[in-house]
Structure 1
Amino acid sequence: MHDADLTPNAANHAPLTPLIFLDRAADVYPRRTAIVHGALRQTWGETRERCRRLASALLRRGLQRGDVVAVMLPNVPAMVEAHFGVPLAGLVLNALNTRLDTESLAYMLAHGGARAVLVDPELAGVMRSAVELAVQQGLPAPLVVDVAEAQFDVAGPRIGSLDYEALLAEGDSADALPGVGDEWDSIALNYTSGTTGKPKGVVYSHRGAYANAVSNILEWDMPKHPVYLWTLPMFHCNGWCFPWTVAARAGVNVCLRKVEAQAIFERIRSEGVTHYCGAPIVHNLLVNAPAELKTGIAQTVRAMVAGAAPPAAMIEGLHGMGFELTHVYGLTEVYGPASVCAWQADWDDLPLSERARLNARQGVRYHLQDGTTVLDPGTMQPVPHDGETMGEVMFRGNIMMKGYLANPQATAAAFAGGWFHTGDLAVVDPDGYIKIKDRSKDIIISGGENISSIEVEDVLYRHPAVMVAGVVAMPDPKWGETPCAFVELKPGAQAAEEDIIDFCRKHLAGFKVPRRVVFGEMPKTSTGKIQKYTLRARARSRDAIDV
């Protein structure tokens, strides 16, 4: 009864949103650099003004609260600005995968109901076709805006009714903006890969984006004014919420149009980069780069890896470069990372190989995530912490999607039993850390024995000639399935199939050794993940039907 008369009001309650980080950075550090792109140096004060003008212009163009603005952009300044300008107008940001085909993009535009589209000239060709197809499918013609590239020589057609700078000129940074009425309001729409059917539209709230942006700071002990290099695509889970994280620390967004080893190392040196993120393939690219590219880096560089379990060889390689690695894990539905392999002080004195093994685990829940666990999906009971009993990784808490857009059945299935079901199979070690063994569809069942493709891949990555490895099931008349390894060799390296198989025999039980090795460039998604469904089709596995 003592608090019966204590109620929320404007003085003691405000909806949680990452948009407040922009105002704080601009108020406190207006002259500090916010964005670097080629010769461009843009301050936080200038960035806020441009974001507010973008919001104002979109509203003056007739867009209304809840409308979707799609962006087809690489990691350029306008992409950073869209993460603030679009939601400042009460609109929903839909960052599109820049490597998708026309049909997939058209589906997303139509399904999300995009009212406006921002497009880079390099991507304008496919986007023009996608918009045309979406309109044929019933989408009202959206406002299309060309985002010119002023810093680099990028060719492409103009497909919009105006360009980005002209749009901003229509807005006024002094306009009153609608603000966030409820932290449950949608801030972003992201589509899943759609490898087993139509992509699902994952809807993010302001509350969830705020929680994950802050958790990123806490998990990384990120100091004020970090220099963050955009190796991770901002279209991927909104860059794991790092556009908002960097603003919260008044840091520097170092933009990068393409992920190339030379460009990355040049910017690490020239801009004093302190942080970057990426899938294992991005880090592997740096580990295996020529030694001359890696010289002259004086500052500590902190790397964050997710997207797939990092092989121990990659972890050891980054350590040898002097980079500090944080391993996180998550999915689109949990805003990118939502668990972390939190480092323990007593690991410092262990051999490097053991430290790498421990750091390859998916770990424990993020600071602001309520729960991360491994449950038996049949009973919904926790598995023993014995490092052997497998269950399904599940999440719940504030770092969780609102649900799937216009797909109540999929939303209900994903949240069955009060937990989000990831589809990832894992064990829990005695110390409470989660270790993923495989995706449920990637487990290889050979003669009744389960084989983790991740375990086999980890061995393959230790071979000195292997750059990238992927393992899937291959039909076998005797055993049902056996492992088939796909290998991409390092530049200039040579290895025969028997060399790879012999190497695996030294490190794996006999039934886990690949029976076949296929050499060639690995099919990858735009975020660096290996396309396992493509490999399954090539291996003619039983799961190839899921493509």
Structure 2
Amino acid sequence: MELYQLQYFVEVARNRNFTRAARRLNLATPALSLQIQKLEKELGTRLFNRGQKETVMTPSGEMLFEKAQALLTMADSVKQSVAEVSELRAGRLAIAFIYSLGARWLPEILREFRSSFPCLNLMTHEETSLGVAALVEDATAELGFLELPTNNQLFEVKEIWNEPYYAVVPADHPLASKKNIALQQLEKDPFVVKRGESQQQTIEACRRAGFEPRIACECTEQETKLALVQAGLGVLLLPQLAAGDAREGVVAVPIREPKLAREVGLIHRRGKELSAAAAAFIEFVKNKPLPSPAEARPVRTAQILPALPGPEADQMDHSAPQGLLAPQKFLDRSALVFPDKVALRFNERDYTYSEFNRRVHRLAAALRKAGLEPGDRVAFVCSNIPPMLEAHFAVPLAGGVLVPINVRFTAGEIAYILNHSGAKFLFADADFAASVRPVLGNLGGIKKVIGIQDSRSGRSMGDMDYEEFLSTASAKSAPSLLRDEEDLISLNYTSGTTGKPKGVMITHRGAYLTALGQIVEAGLRPESRYLWTLPIFHCNGWCYAWAVTAIGGAHICLRKFDPNKVWSLIENEGITHMSGAPVTFGMGGGPASPGLIAQCIELGARIIHGYGLTETYGPYTLCEWQPEWQKLSLREQAKLMARQGVPSVLGDAVRVVDEHMRDIRQDGQSIGEVVMRGAHV
């Protein structure tokens, strides 16, 4: 019995289908079947009951499945241990940390550590102190930096740093020039605080100094706090690293008394043996002091623009050039108007529009830092998860062209698109490693491969992990390189049903207008919650990747379509919109039938039945509801709504012509070819 045979067996058991398992293993189906037969012969028992639609395990197979998983896990552990002993020439280390460390001190530490161990794969997770503790507890991260105290029964604290507090005051404040101050000297000043734990810490510190602080402003973002101090609306208490986020018009002054400090600790799970990588990192980080505010490199997540006088003051951060129709403006506006509103939700993790915007700018900066030139293609093989949505804004902001690739394509098809498009960067979801890994050695034009991984996906691949790649750059706002709205924003490949996949050129202008059209036709509102049942790689999710963001709605991400999961999300997440081909709702690849439409209406759904293709950015025609249909029976309504023949609010009227380009009769019987034109063709 060989380990690879057990791996094949486990893959078949998980997929319940030999063909799907063979595809994931990059094997021919007969070869896979032969190996399973050999395994069954060696064990003297049948492991699967093979059916036409599904392959299920026998009782013997179920027993082997449990043992095989344990053996494969043990084998991986052995390989990892051997690699670690070999002077860390392979392996990985997952580290979680609080935001202030990730923004200022830790990136340089990680860079130096990576220089010493270049083959080590670093995985990083940015969280609150509670979030860091949770990640270390469930072994998502081996090491964690957090604010102490913590649960000493669960965790062992390996190193401790003391981080003193500073008073952050406007540059023209009377105490701004002092070498240090007593906190009591700020008794008459109004205070700016961040809601939550930070607010309570400020109150307790002031009480220790003998006075009750007057809270003038409360906010939720670090950048907002500093901007309010910069505007002269109050003073602020910040720990050492956060105080290093210096900006013009703001000064950080040390507090002499009372002695205010927070302890930052490096923890790992008690009772669990440290990996060689973790032990090496702990030794490396010893005696690495935290930088003072004067030494800290300024890192900002948003550029504070000087205010213009009068009511015409423009508060938006223009990462997209003014006057051009570019989808980047949608995110600029929503981050300004709805900074604390949920933009994305995935696996019970929420990202506000402010966070979404910062991650987009960080990804754009990382791409530029990695050598992306204007017009370079950036390919994504990715599920409906946050990185795929971030790419729709970050890649064009960096000056690149997005190439979203169908995750169902074979390794050969993926290789063809990567080479044909001239992609320079490839971001690959670990769930599709079986289709991507085989082509990595045959891509001469690719500069860098980034693996995308979340807690539910498989092993990462490439030069580094997605979150690690983001950590290589700051979220400082950078001007867009866009000069012409007719420049490409995305290169979308067709399915290749009549030949090789063909690249369809999607422009900033066309994407902008189509997204606005989708808002109108779907009736999107800021309170809308859009469930991603439609693949984002398909026509940029029919431009809903941009449309939902434009209106300030919430993207509810879904890694894989599962009917039970969809029903659960509709019920528990207040879903208002979702899209999909008729096959999503239990039909084939043709148009939706009147019967299916009637069933959806009976469930209380509003149906928008449309037609489009990659060359029209997705949507082109639809069935426009007529008020008089309300008087008809459900059966008659469904029959009328099964049609798709009128243009959307954005398109010109579609023509159906014969072989001589003559319009055919509009009788519902004659057949011809469609001719389309317009701003999104």
* TM-score, length-scaled by structure 1: 0.64
CA distance in 1, matches of 2:481, 2:574: 35
Corresponding residue of 1:17: 326
Q: Tell whether the 8 Å contact from 1:217 to 1:245 is kept in structure 2 after alignment.
A: yes
Q: Which residue, 143, 154, 170 being the options, matches 2:457?
A: 154
CA-CA distance at 1:233 after TM superposition: 0.5
Question: Letter of the aligned partner of 1:230 in structure 2?
Answer: W
Corresponding residue of 2:446: 141
Q: Tell whether the 8 Å contact from 2:343 to 2:353 is kept in structure 1 after alignment.
A: yes
Change (3 A) 1:175 1:22: closer
Q: Which residue, 490, 494, 503 being the options, matches 1:188?
A: 490
Q: Which residue, 222, 228, 233 being the options, matches 2:535?
A: 233
Corresponding residue of 1:366: 648
Question: Letter of the aligned partner of 1:274 in structure 2?
Answer: T
Corresponding residue of 2:561: 259
Question: Letter of the aligned partner of 2:451 in structure 1?
Answer: D
Question: Letter of the aligned partner of 2:568 in structure 1?
Answer: E
CA distance in 2, matches of 1:347, 1:129: 54
Question: Letter of the aligned partner of 1:177 in structure 2?
Answer: P
Question: Letter of the aligned partner of 1:396 in structure 2?
Answer: R
CA-CA distance at 1:52 after TM superposition: 0.7
CA distance in 2, matches of 1:41, 1:168: 18
Change (3 A) 1:161 1:228: same
CA-CA distance at 1:175 after TM superposition: 4.4
Q: Tell whether the 8 Å contact from 1:51 to 1:84 is kept in structure 2 after alignment.
A: yes
CA-CA distance at 1:130 after TM superposition: 2.2
Partner-residue secondary structure (3-state), 1:74: coil
Corresponding residue of 1:376: 658
Question: Letter of the aligned partner of 1:155 in structure 2?
Answer: G
**Pairing 1:106-185 to 2, within 5 Å after superposition:** 106-133=415-442, 135=443, 139-150=444-455, 153-156=456-459, 158-185=460-487
CA distance in 2, matches of 1:375, 1:38: 48
Q: Tell whether the 8 Å contact from 1:191 to 1:199 is kept in structure 2 after alignment.
A: yes
Matched, 1:203 2:505: yes
Cα deviation per residue 1:448-505 (whole Å; 9 max; x = unaligned)?
A: xxxxxxxxxxxxxxxxxxxxxxxxxxxxxxxxxxxxxxxxxxxxxxxxxxxxxxxxxx
Matched, 1:60 2:369: yes
Partner-residue secondary structure (3-state), 1:381: coil
CA distance in 2, matches of 1:143, 1:314: 45
Q: Tell whether the 8 Å contact from 1:227 to 1:254 is kept in structure 2 after alignment.
A: yes
Cα deviation per residue 1:382-403 (whole Å; 9 max; x = unaligned)?
A: 2233333332211101111xxx
CA-CA distance at 1:345 after TM superposition: 0.6
CA distance in 2, matches of 1:126, 1:328: 32
Q: Which residue, 609, 627, 631 being the options, matches 1:327?
A: 609
Partner-residue secondary structure (3-state), 1:239: helix
Question: Letter of the aligned partner of 2:457 in structure 1?
Answer: V
CA-CA distance at 1:13 after TM superposition: 7.2
Q: Tell whether the 8 Å contact from 1:71 to 1:119 is kept in structure 2 after alignment.
A: yes
Larger Rg over CA atoms: 2
Partner-residue secondary structure (3-state), 1:127: helix
Deviates more, 1:165-174 or 1:317-326: 165-174
CA-CA distance at 1:225 after TM superposition: 2.4
Partner-residue secondary structure (3-state), 2:607: strand
Change (3 A) 1:307 1:69: farther
CA distance in 1, matches of 2:505, 2:565: 33
Question: Letter of the aligned partner of 2:447 in structure 1?
Answer: P
CA-CA distance at 1:375 after TM superposition: 2.3
Cα deviation per residue 1:246-271 (whole Å; 9 max; x = unaligned)?
A: 00110111111111111001111111
What root-mean-square deviation, in Å, do the aligned CA atoms of Structure 1 and Structure 2 show? 1.8
Q: Tell whether the 8 Å contact from 1:16 to 1:206 is kept in structure 2 after alignment.
A: yes
CA distance in 2, matches of 1:365, 1:131: 43
Q: Tell whether the 8 Å contact from 1:187 to 1:206 is kept in structure 2 after alignment.
A: yes
Change (3 A) 1:13 1:53: closer
Cα deviation per residue 1:184-210 (whole Å; 9 max; x = unaligned)?
A: 100111111112211111110011111
Partner-residue secondary structure (3-state), 1:324: coil
Corresponding residue of 1:399: 680
CA distance in 1, matches of 2:395, 2:322: 24
Question: Letter of the aligned partner of 2:570 in structure 1?
Answer: I
CA distance in 2, matches of 1:50, 1:377: 51
Corresponding residue of 1:99: 408
Structure possessing the higher relative contact order (Cα contacts under 8 Å, 6 or more residues apart): 1
Q: Tell whether the 8 Å contact from 2:426 to 2:446 is kept in structure 1 after alignment.
A: no
Partner-residue secondary structure (3-state), 2:489: strand
CA distance in 1, matches of 2:502, 2:594: 33
Q: Tell whether the 8 Å contact from 1:109 to 1:131 is kept in structure 2 after alignment.
A: no
Q: Tell whether the 8 Å contact from 1:69 to 1:114 is kept in structure 2 after alignment.
A: yes
Q: Tell whether the 8 Å contact from 2:658 to 2:673 is kept in structure 1 after alignment.
A: yes
Corresponding residue of 1:48: 357
Q: Tell whether the 8 Å contact from 1:118 to 1:145 is kept in structure 2 after alignment.
A: yes
Matched, 1:278 2:580: yes
Change (3 A) 1:280 1:48: same
CA distance in 2, matches of 1:80, 1:13: 23
CA distance in 2, matches of 1:377, 1:336: 25
Change (3 A) 1:377 1:171: farther
Change (3 A) 1:369 1:110: same
Q: Tell whether the 8 Å contact from 1:56 to 1:177 is kept in structure 2 after alignment.
A: no
CA-CA distance at 1:316 after TM superposition: 1.0
CA-CA distance at 1:177 after TM superposition: 3.1
CA distance in 2, matches of 1:215, 1:178: 24
Change (3 A) 1:270 1:79: same
CA-CA distance at 1:80 after TM superposition: 0.8
CA distance in 1, matches of 2:557, 2:538: 15
CA distance in 2, matches of 1:258, 1:283: 15
Change (3 A) 1:195 1:387: closer
CA distance in 2, matches of 1:195, 1:29: 42
Is there any run of 5+ residues in structure 1 with no aligned partner, and where? 1-9, 286-305, 401-547
CA-CA distance at 1:78 after TM superposition: 0.6
CA distance in 1, matches of 2:581, 2:502: 22
Question: Letter of the aligned partner of 1:334 in structure 2?
Answer: T
CA-CA distance at 1:376 after TM superposition: 2.7
Matched, 1:390 2:671: yes
* TM-score, length-scaled by structure 2: 0.52
Corresponding residue of 1:294: none
CA-CA distance at 1:36 after TM superposition: 0.5
CA distance in 2, matches of 1:225, 1:189: 31
Partner-residue secondary structure (3-state), 1:323: coil
**Pairing 1:461-476 to 2, within 5 Å after superposition:** none
CA distance in 2, matches of 1:337, 1:308: 16
Question: Letter of the aligned partner of 1:335 in structure 2?
Answer: Y
Q: Tell whether the 8 Å contact from 1:212 to 1:338 is kept in structure 2 after alignment.
A: no
CA-CA distance at 1:363 after TM superposition: 2.3
Q: Tell whether the 8 Å contact from 2:524 to 2:553 is kept in structure 1 after alignment.
A: no
CA distance in 2, matches of 1:225, 1:250: 8
**Pairing 1:359-508 to 2, within 5 Å after superposition:** 359-378=641-660, 380-400=661-681
Corresponding residue of 1:37: 346
CA distance in 2, matches of 1:368, 1:131: 41
CA distance in 2, matches of 1:250, 1:130: 38
